Amino acid sequence: MAALVTGATRGIGRALAEALAAAGRPVIGTHRAPPPDLPGVAWQPLDVTRPAAFARLTAALRGQALELVVCNAGIYRDRRDWIERGYPAELWAETFAVNVTGVFLTVQALLPNLAAAGRPKVAILASRMGSTAGASGGSYAYRASKAAAVNLGRNLAADLAPRGIAVGIYHPGWVRTDMGGAAADLDAATAAAGLIARIDALDLSTTGCFEAWDGTPIPV
């Protein structure tokens, strides 16, 4: 049975797809731009902001059991906006369309595929910046979207547990990617290895967890 990773062409998504494939797991990666040639990774097009794209994805994957769906696709557009200026309505709409609605539509579309697997799991990549308890200001659209993703994940965990589907919510760390920047703490491979360890440990007894890549619990 396969794992599916959204936004798998670069950054953490690519590192996750590569690591899962290297471990011998069949991997499906989704892409918007032309995808790289990664051994062991099959590709499906998906723009999580376009509802019609999910219909094409479900048609392409009909009958395919998925033991894992990783909702990785995300954007961070407001790192340089200030409260006195910036944060236009279009930025809020785009951020929530990708980071929140896109997560829900991914899980919703792939429920039949998850149901066809034994002990299926959903992993939502959120962020420590979505912790209300740890609010420190700035990046309002990104922080609000990740807080919503955490809330979404916890509610999905409650609703999907009776179906045998476990849901984990994860902070990947500050990672050296296009989003994280060159000064970040972790390389993508290290973050991916930690996330996979967390996902492998996930089961129905821990569904709804919000953890960092290294297993540190994060307050909601």
pLDDT digits (tens, 9 = 90+) for 105-145: 999 999 999 999 999 999 999 999 999 998 999 999 999 99
pLDDT for 180: 67
pLDDT for 178: 67
Q: What share of the chain is helix, strand, coil (3-state, %, to 5)?
A: 40, 20, 40
Q: Are 18 and 41 in contact (CB under 8 A)?
A: yes
**Residue type at 22 in one-letter notation:** A
The pTM assigned to this predicted structure is 0.95
Ranges of beta strands (E only) in the chain are: 2-5, 27-31, 41-45, 66-71, 121-125, 166-171, 210-212
pLDDT digits (tens, 9 = 90+) for 205-214: 999 999 999 9
pLDDT for 175: 76
Block mean pLDDT (10 aa), the chain, length 220: 95 96 97 94 98 97 98 95 94 98 98 97 97 94 98 98 98 76 78 97 98 96
Burial of 25 (0-12, 13-18, 19+ CB in 10 A): middle
pLDDT for 91: 97
